[in-house]
Amino acid sequence: MNGNKLRSVFLKHADEVDDAQEEASDIESDAKANLTKILAHMRAASMHYQHAHWQTEGETFYGDHLMYGRLYDSLDPHIDTLAEKIVGYYGTDALSTIEQTKQVAEIASEYCEDCFIKTSLAFEEALCNAIVTEFDRQEEAGTLKLGMNDFLAAACNDRDTAKYLLKQRLK
């Protein structure tokens, strides 16, 4: 191979490497944004459940009070684990208190504050959809780490249980 041809092959390969690195960076950036949004959704749902736990009343008070307590208790370990995974994968700058608070407020504002059961079910449906979408996106990109796979699957499984409880309560 002459020098010009070798140089051309090298430059082409360097461009392909740059493109692959840029694509990988975009995938990681999307994952970070999606995971922080899921975290904010979990935190908004937890706050909703705690509010419902305090505010429920009437004939179904006791059962609803216990159910909402169970629902917000079930989110706390997922919130902590996901926050730690985000920081572990992307660094401490990945989670800003101000940005998380804004995201939580934005998500919470999309739901009826006093329609406890229906709002709770809507929270769970949206949360499950976000988890499944991110799982599928990372899996398709080949970037889904085993620990994240396990976490997202377990979180979705717990949210399925929450949806079951809420649907039974609506009957």
Which one is predicted more confidently, 27 or 112?
Answer: 112
CATH fourth-level superfamily of 34-170:
Ferritin, core subunit, four-helix bundle (1.20.1260.10)
Reported confidence tier of residue 155, pLDDT bands at 50, 70, 90? very high
Of all residues in the chain, the percent with pLDDT exceeding 70 is 85
Instruction: Give the 3-state DSSP-derived string for the chain, with helices as H, strands as E and coil as C.
Output: CCHHHHHHHHHHHHHHHHHHHHHHHHHHHHHHHHHHHHHHHHHHHHHHHHHHHHHCCCCCHHHHHHHHHHHHHHHHHHHHHHHHHHHHHHCHHHCCHHHHHHHHHHHHCCCCCCCHHHHHHHHHHHHHHHHHHHHHHHHHHCCCCHHHHHHHHHHHHHHHHHHHHHHHHHC
pLDDT digits (tens, 9 = 90+) for 15-63: 555 544 555 567 788 999 999 999 999 999 999 999 999 999 999 999 9
Of all residues in the chain, the percent with pLDDT exceeding 90 is 78
Lowest mean pLDDT among 19-23, 38-42, 112-116, 159-163: 19-23
What's the mean per-residue pLDDT of the chain?
Answer: 89
Looking at residue 138, its pLDDT comes to: 94
Q: Residue 117: pLDDT above 70?
A: yes
Domain boundaries, the chain: 34-170
Whole-number CA gyration radius for the chain: 21
Q: Residue 168: pLDDT above 60?
A: yes
Looking at residue 27, its pLDDT comes to: 72
State mean pLDDT over 112-116.
Answer: 81
Token pair 């006791």 in the structure block, residue = 62
Nearest alpha carbon to residue 120 among 35, 57, 56, 62: 56
